[in-house]
Amino acid sequence: METTSSTNEHTGRGTMWELERNLDQPMDAEAGRLRNMYREKTYPTLVLLQLAFQSLGVVFGDLGTSPLYVFYNIFPHDIEDTEQVIGALSLIIYSLTLIPLVKYVFIVLRANDNGQGGTFALYSLLCRHAKINTIPNQHRTDEDLTTYSRHTYDEKSLAAKIKRWLEGHQFRKNVILILVLFGTCMAVGDGILTPAISVLSATGGIQVEKPKMRNDVVVILSVVILIGLFSMQHFGTDKVSWLFAPIVFVWFILIGILGAVNISKYDRSVLKAFNPMYVYRYFKRGKTSWASLGGIMLSITGTEALFADLSYFPVQAIQIAFTVVVFPCLLLQYTGQAAYIAQNRNSVVHAFYYSLPDSVRWPSFIVATAAAVVASQATISMTYSIIKQALALGCFPRVRIIHTSKKYLGQIYSPDINWILLIFCIAVTAGFKNQSQIANAYGTAVIMVMLVTTFLMVPIMLLVWRSHWSLVILFTALSLVVEIPYFSAVVRKIDQGGWVPLVFAGAFLIIMYVWHYGTLKRYEFEMHSKVSMAWILGLGPSLGLVRVPGVGLVYTELASGVPHIFSHFITNLPAIHSTLVFVCVKYLPVYTVPPDERFLVKRIGPKNFHMFRCVARYGYKDIHKKDDDFEQMLFNSLMLFVRLESMMEEYTDSDEYSTRELNQAGNANSRINGINAGSNMDLSYTSHDSIIQVQSPNHTGSSQEMPSGQTYQTVGDEIAFLNACREAGVVHILGNTIIRARRDSGLLKKIAINYMYAFLRKICRENSVIFNVPHESLLNVGQVFYV
């Protein structure tokens, strides 16, 4: 049970209470200073303009290359008259205005998680404001993180009612999780289809100059470019990012100027498309207009990547770039193409290239190909980021994640995912061979992601922003008015290529959900089979074994309590290390955990047991790096904990104190006395199990007996003992827990657990590789249990 330091309830804690009262103010000031570090920065105007320019190359490449293939997919057959072109253009204009500009740039971008975007960023926001995380490994101490921002609600408010409704049933939590996973899988499908359609559309411009060139040659050229693109991914975007922004900037200026020239050269009557009445007239034309919505929707593809790639740039920079450069240039280009098509109705295929003057056709082809590669890079990077977030939240098998930039944390690379994407991209490009079927597949993926974002924004606006319900209804209605017609159009084309992203999404969804389900069952079993403290105490300081010199780091998924596998370990081995540390590496629904708040340490049992727990917390953007920092920081925090624990004994005259008191007063005391063990870390982790309280000596300064029979009088003796243990050697003990379905389980559960989850665990990376454990220092302990 957790204790408090209130003088009203415990009159024997006046000294501790006085210490906390004196130290509260500077701790509050420091907490405020730390929190300000993780708020969105304000940039000088010049710097903001520079960032806006750079964002063109990373964020808007996909959206900017859409004019290459939109009109061909709107009018795959004959065009009846000019008014049909004007109606389609009017739909493009207002789709660009309502979805990318209004919905995403000015509304959805505000729903970022400390600068991080994407489906999982929305999910992490919801997990912090409502207890909907299906793996219950969080604790109230996690809410003290400087990056763990959340709101409190009045019990009678609408937000509080929504929160209770979401938390009230496991089914609702699973629905939200499946919705997030489905949106994520569709975004991965987007990452597969964007390179295929962008590169194939750009290279198709060769056929304008070389009409006799076979389509197979264009496909082969596209495949070669794709192989080159994916082969360069291990260098990272940081190595080539200096090229991206100028290329895309030149592209946008080029298409804007060419669009304005085509308007004045061919048909200015297309400017009537800015009148929304032509949208109504377009739909009055019948089923052909409704069927063409799938092609019109391609004009807003890349919008979902705009939100997912948010981590690279501040929101203001993206808003400036879109409103000043991207939006007007796209309007000019689409209007210019419509003017050309209105006068040349038989040249819809490759209308972009046909509308160019002969003198700039080849330079435009080169710039278009480069822009298509940049657009592909943006969605590929988005896919890496999504997979990393899913992995951190326990929704994807362990794959290798590599940092490609020391300067930018968000720039990562996954070789496993990279080659899977390449295989699928080549299969789509070579399998379909034409833009139309790929476009149908692409449109299906894009609209699904947009719908998921719309549905997730509803609880975000209610719980996080605490918006009035009328605004929520208005946002949802305006979004669905545009997205539902597009959705109905792409559904009709499922048999014409639209099935591809559904197959991809279905496969990834099954993998992610089965992995999450297996992880949850393992965690539930370990939670229910924890070793009781009474059993540990009954073994005595030696734990019933020979305590040999050294440190044993026992890795466990439990953030509280002693795992069941530990009892399996000590009942099968004759000796154990003189110091034991139970290490839990867990990920929280925050984008990052500051290094000085990463570790939580507490003692398990009496001092002469020499057992500790260390919880290492990470955000979904953090990486467990391959270096010695983790082990060094762990021991630094352990030493700091021992020092401050001893200091706190001088401020309490009670038989016991809680670890929360140690954390609150100890951090401040360490600043006063100048004690630092490498970083200012949180020092304790309290839980609801039987090992909460830390027993202090009956009187300050009493000696403690060490396992070797020696005694120490001061904290220096224990520090020396821990250092000697570390010098004797550190062994990493990993539990290899295998789960199997019970015999009386249903067929689906048996298939999911015994075959699919087992196969995924077999092919994914081992924990020892994730934790960078040297092979000679590794000890695996296995056990099988049935769920």
pLDDT band at 545 (very low <50, low <70, confident <90, very high): confident
Crossing angle of helices 361-392 and 215-231, in 10° steps, is 50
CA angle 567, 573, 579 (to 5 degrees): 70
State residue 479's pLDDT score: 92
Question: Which pLDDT tens digit goes with each residue over 404-415?
Answer: 666 555 567 788
The residue whose two tokens read 């004019």 is: 67
The residue whose two tokens read 């048909």 is: 267
* Average pLDDT value for residue range 122-127: 86
Q: How far apart are CA 268 and CA 498, in angstroms?
A: 35
Least confident of 142-146, 646-650, 680-684, 782-786: 680-684
State residue 103's pLDDT score: 93
State residue 620's pLDDT score: 77
Q: How far apart are CA 65 and CA 667, in angstroms?
A: 54
315-319, 384-388, 684-688: range with highest mean pLDDT: 315-319
Question: Which pLDDT tens digit goes with each residue over 429-454?
Answer: 888 766 677 878 888 888 999 999 99
pLDDT band at 499 (very low <50, low <70, confident <90, very high): confident
Q: Which residue has the higher pLDDT, 366 or 204?
A: 366
State residue 241's pLDDT score: 57
Least confident of 2-11, 33-42, 185-194: 2-11
> What DSSP designation does 472 have?
H
- Per-residue pLDDT at 475 exceeds 70: yes
* Average pLDDT value for residue range 689-717: 43
- Per-residue pLDDT at 22 exceeds 50: no
Pick from 226, 406, 262: nearest CA to 343: 262
**Residue 503, both tokens:** 């197959």
Question: Which pLDDT tens digit goes with each residue over 361-373?
Answer: 788 888 888 888 7
Q: Which residue has the higher pLDDT, 201 or 640?
A: 640
**3-state secondary structure labels for all residues of 611-632:** EEEEEEEECCCCCCCCCCHHHH
Strand 711-712 with 412-413, pairing: unpaired
Backbone φ/ψ region at 253: left (φ over 0), alpha (ψ -120 to 50), beta: alpha
- 435, HSE (Cβ side, Cα atoms, 13 Å): 27
Q: How far apart are CA 305 and CA 190, in angstroms?
A: 9
Q: How far apart are CA 222 and CA 242, in angstroms?
A: 24
- Per-residue pLDDT at 473 exceeds 80: yes
- Per-residue pLDDT at 311 exceeds 80: no
User: Do residues 604 and 638 lie in contact, with contact meaning Cβ atoms separated by under 8 Å?
Assistant: no
**Residue 111, both tokens:** 């729903």
- Per-residue pLDDT at 134 exceeds 80: no
State residue 201's pLDDT score: 78
* Average pLDDT value for residue range 633-646: 84
User: Do residues 552 and 522 lie in contact, with contact meaning Cβ atoms separated by under 8 Å?
Assistant: no
What is the percent of the chain where pLDDT is above 70?
79
User: Do residues 132 and 163 lie in contact, with contact meaning Cβ atoms separated by under 8 Å?
Assistant: no
State residue 625's pLDDT score: 58
142-156, 572-586, 712-726: range with highest mean pLDDT: 572-586
State residue 321's pLDDT score: 92
State residue 362's pLDDT score: 81
- Per-residue pLDDT at 340 exceeds 80: yes
State residue 91's pLDDT score: 93
Residues of the chain with CATH 1.20.1740.10: 59-134+168-497
- Per-residue pLDDT at 685 exceeds 60: no
- Per-residue pLDDT at 129 exceeds 90: no
**Residue 71, both tokens:** 């009109």
Q: How far apart are CA 208 and CA 225, in angstroms?
A: 19
* Average pLDDT value for residue range 113-134: 82
Point out which residues pair with 733 in neighbouring strands: 554, 779
For residue 2, the one-letter residue type is E
State residue 690's pLDDT score: 32
State residue 237's pLDDT score: 57
pLDDT band at 72 (very low <50, low <70, confident <90, very high): confident
59-134+168-497 classified as CATH 1.20.140.10: no
Q: Enumerate residues 6+ apart whose C-beta is below 8 A from 340.
A: 262, 266, 267, 347, 351, 354, 355
Strand 412-413 with 599-604, pairing: unpaired
Q: How far apart are CA 186 and CA 456, in angstroms?
A: 15
CA 72 to chain centroid, in Å, comes to 35
- Per-residue pLDDT at 269 exceeds 60: yes
Q: Average pLDDT of the chain?
A: 77
Strand, helix or coil at 133? coil
Question: Which pLDDT tens digit goes with each residue over 213-234?
Answer: 777 788 888 889 888 888 877 7
**Residue 184, both tokens:** 């994520």
Question: Which pLDDT tens digit goes with each residue over 594-613?
Answer: 877 888 888 888 888 888 98
Question: Which pLDDT tens digit goes with each residue over 648-669?
Answer: 765 544 333 333 334 444 443 4
Residue 655's φ and ψ, nearest 5 degrees, are: -70, -20
pLDDT band at 108 (very low <50, low <70, confident <90, very high): very high
pTM of the full predicted structure? 0.76
* Average pLDDT value for residue range 488-505: 85
